[in-house]
Structure 1
Amino acid sequence: MSGIINNREYRQKVLKEIILELHNGKSVDEVRKRFQELIKGVSTKEISEMEAQLIKEGMKVEEIQRLCDVHAAVFKGSIDQIHHPEKEEGHPVSVLKKENEAVKNYIQSHLTPNLEEIKKSDSHSTRLKLMENISMLFDLDKHYSRKENLIFPYLEKYGITAPPKVMWGVDDEIREALKECKEVINSANKTPNEITEKVESTLKRIEEMIFKEESILLPMCIDTFSEDEWLDIESESDEIGYCLISPSEKWKPKRENVEEKEKSKLANENSEGYIKFDTGILRVNELSAILDTLPLDITFVDKDGTVKYFSGGSERIFARTRAVIGRKVQNCHPPASVHIVEKVVEDLKSGKKDHEDFWLHMGELYVFIRYYAVKDNKGEFIGVLEVTQNIKEIQEITGEKRLIE
């Protein structure tokens, strides 16, 4: 039986059945019992795939959204969480987690005592305190907005569409529930029990969302996004704002100052800005213009894996910013593809290959990517050159052209 349980496809099937059983009216306890008997571990990736498959099979996003809190409660405590190292201060993941912690602390230190107080004495002052508490929790809108507008687009870029749709819907429901809390608290004909019930149900939804973010969403993002993408998310976060807290410092990925490092090595460049080659001599600005004029994206990574240069042509296929200079090449790719990059570099560095080629369709572009082993005049490996070109127009060339038209 254990062989069946450990079969990934079978487990995926069981997961979908669990959600459908809940949808068809089975109790949480019944489903939880089956879950504990048949499922030994569920990865965040499988949850994403399960929800995507349900949508693909015709289940409306709204229906999965309605079940979201229920299946989160079932999965809670049962997910084999991937233990990622803690992110540095100011990293978007660190900030989101600290906001979640601040929300939980605020609920425990302010809202919970005031709910206990209103159960004992329904006074105007206690209602005012609760109104203030709920108003503070409206700060969650900034937390959710950063998630929805900065993180979800990157997930969708990688084809992960179901979790963002479901989670955004639940975010909106929490926003609406907070508004309803204020209305109930502000209504003179609502009893303390009605107020408590509404507020507690909303707090439960907030706590469930915190769980889903930290156990499902963030591990999925950590496994998917490159460091450059996290840097873009961080750079735009200030504009939306933060929930209850603000980052104590800006996140700065570790990188090497290659410009300073290389100043002492440029022995071939004289004080007038010339570079002497075996086959000629060029001014620095001439060389830069030549490289930028080529219809290619060029990126050079040195033998230690540090990005040292990229060309600045006007029609780059893959976006680059100066922030990439000094970065380790592994940090410029999503974690899921890092092993491919490392294998390419290893093959080129060892001499097993002189180049490695890839080609793919990107919308109307047909992109050809070639990685070259770069060696000095002694044949020693000094780095990797990535050359990217749109070859669609080249492929379409036919016949001959010998004259200027």
Structure 2
Amino acid sequence: MSEYINNREHRQKVLKRLIRNLHEGRDLGEVKEEFRKLLRDVSPTEISQMEQALIAEGLPPEQIQELCDVHVQIFRESLDKQAPPGMTPGHPVHTFRAENEAVAKAVEELKQNIAQIGAAGNTDAAAEPVQQAQETLNKLMQLDTHYLRKENLLFPFLEKHGVTGPSSVMWGIHNDIRDGLKELRRVLQTYTDYDFPALVAAIEQVANPLTTAITEMIYKEDNILYPMALEKLSDAEWLAIKEQTPEMGYCLIEPPDARPPVAEKERPAVMEEKPAQMKGYPSALPLDTGSMTPKEINLLLKNLPVDITFVDKDDTVRYFSQTEERIFVRTPAVIGREVQNCHPPASVHVVNRILDDFRQGHRDVAEFWIQMQGKFVHIRYFPLRDENGEYVGTIEVTQDVTSIRELTGQRRLLEEK
């Protein structure tokens, strides 16, 4: 075993050195040849570990992202020799790959649309192929769903196994592709603003790197990410991914076979330990999605940018958040009080109507907005119902939205203090 580990460590050192040579400007052909001589082949897991180690040693993920396609060129010959593992319909990897096949077809369709635009000869004649390109591009916009599932389902499970390289590098490429799709859509939507040569140039300037990036991402997923994930994740984790997938949706395919990713008889037993206990927080309360200690829950509620009051099914005030800048005065004395007694007599009938509508399922929200003391205040009431639809109470959410209403444009960067 120790000999294997030493060999693996040596391979990692060689891989890292070769990639660093690339980043320092060494010729790609020379690096590929040295790779063939020294290592000959490489596994998807080794590639991920190498990139992750480089990041840990201080190489910015952005630099790895910039040369990610070049990295793959070094390993492509080796990766192409490795047959992808077969997956049954219903397994998340089978679903991801089915989406990739559909995306690849759409990319080829887009290339044909763009070629037809270039062959049109003038802007007027380009109208029909531009429309076809827009329709194809609308299909490819569904890539966002594919990437969101990777980012929010697959990556978190990989990170639990210490695999952080893909999320550091691939996520950045996802965003580049998203930006490219939006920019190409903008060019196509405003095509009449261009003279014909400028239109063709503008489309090609965006579409060529975009289609290449999408195609390369498909290759990296199918040949590196998914094989490595299959090696790392357990059946229980794949089952969890499958069960959480429908909420996020699919990309260019119909919902897959409903069968679980493992046979029912092999379905892993549900772990009996509470998530809170598993993570070393015995005082944490298990919630639908995660767990928190009472202290953490209290701090969270106190620091939300809204005021919250909870009234139970019997119309009794049970809780309010004591924020620093609470809009309406609340004191601990109101706890245990009937909510009708917390309002002036003239408005009690409105309170009762809201609560009755909530109980009977006639309403899912009631909202008001007022101006007071120079503030624009938004007040909303929501019914709380359990999984069986039974009414369990109402929450009041109050927020000063004065500054929100004044927002314009965009802010994508953190404001410097």
Contact persistence 2:103–2:140 (CA under 8 A):
yes
Q: Give the SS at the match of 1:79.
A: helix
Contact persistence 1:96–1:143 (CA under 8 A):
yes
Contact persistence 2:84–2:223 (CA under 8 A):
no
**Could you tell me how far apart the structure 1 residues matched to 2:76 and 2:271 are?**
48
- The aligned residue for residue 112 of structure 1 is 111
- The aligned residue for residue 32 of structure 2 is 32
**Could you tell me how far apart the structure 2 residues matched to 1:62 and 1:103 are?**
25
Which letter maps to 2:208?
E
- The aligned residue for residue 374 of structure 1 is none
1:98: Cα distance to partner? 0.5
Question: Does 1:239 pair with 2:247?
Answer: yes
Identity of aligned residues (%): 40
- Aligned pairs for 1:5-404 within 5 A: 7-79=7-79, 83=83, 85-108=85-108, 110-121=109-120, 122=122, 123-185=126-188, 186-187=190-191, 188-189=193-194, 190-252=198-260, 253-256=262-265, 317=277, 363=280
Q: Give the SS at the match of 2:215.
A: helix
Deviations for 1:251-276, whole angstroms, at most 9, x for unmatched residues?
Answer: 223224xxxxxxxxxxxxxxxxxxxx
Distance change (3 Å), C-alpha of 1:161 and 1:315? closer
**Could you tell me how far apart the structure 2 residues matched to 1:314 and 1:244 are?**
37
Which letter maps to 1:97?
R
1:236: Cα distance to partner? 1.0
Distance change (3 Å), C-alpha of 1:33 and 1:364? same
Contact persistence 1:12–1:46 (CA under 8 A):
yes
Deviations for 1:261-305, whole angstroms, at most 9, x for unmatched residues?
Answer: xxxxxxxxxxxxxxxxxxxxxxxxxxxxxxxxxxxxxxxxxxxx9
Q: Give the SS at the match of 1:243.
A: coil
**Could you tell me how far apart the structure 2 residues matched to 1:70 and 1:84 are?**
21
1:314: Cα distance to partner? 6.5
**Could you tell me how far apart the structure 2 residues matched to 1:25 and 1:150 are?**
36
TM-score norm. by structure 1 comes to: 0.60
TM-score norm. by structure 2 comes to: 0.59
1:209: Cα distance to partner? 0.4
1:67: Cα distance to partner? 1.6
**Could you tell me how far apart the structure 1 residues matched to 2:16 and 2:168 are?**
18
**Could you tell me how far apart the structure 2 residues matched to 1:115 and 1:31 are?**
35
Distance change (3 Å), C-alpha of 1:250 and 1:37? same
Worse-superposed segment, 31-40 or 226-235: 31-40
Which letter maps to 2:239?
L
Which letter maps to 2:116?
E
1:107: Cα distance to partner? 2.2
**Could you tell me how far apart the structure 1 residues matched to 2:113 and 2:275 are?**
59
Which letter maps to 1:228?
A
> How large is the RMSD of aligned CA atoms in angstroms?
2.7
**Could you tell me how far apart the structure 1 residues matched to 2:17 and 2:271 are?**
52
**Could you tell me how far apart the structure 1 residues matched to 2:95 and 2:274 are?**
35
**Could you tell me how far apart the structure 1 residues matched to 2:275 and 2:17 are?**
48
Contact persistence 1:44–1:215 (CA under 8 A):
yes
**Could you tell me how far apart the structure 1 residues matched to 2:215 and 2:28 are?**
18
Q: Give the SS at the match of 2:98.
A: helix
Worse-superposed segment, 93-102 or 110-119: 110-119
Distance change (3 Å), C-alpha of 1:364 and 1:248? closer
**Could you tell me how far apart the structure 2 residues matched to 1:95 and 1:15 are?**
31
**Could you tell me how far apart the structure 1 residues matched to 2:205 and 2:95 are?**
31
Which letter maps to 2:264?
R
Deviations for 1:205-258, whole angstroms, at most 9, x for unmatched residues?
Answer: 0011011111111011111111111111111111111111123421223224xx
- The aligned residue for residue 349 of structure 1 is none
- The aligned residue for residue 401 of structure 1 is none
1:17: Cα distance to partner? 2.0
**Could you tell me how far apart the structure 2 residues matched to 1:70 and 1:92 are?**
28
**Could you tell me how far apart the structure 2 residues matched to 1:105 and 1:223 are?**
28
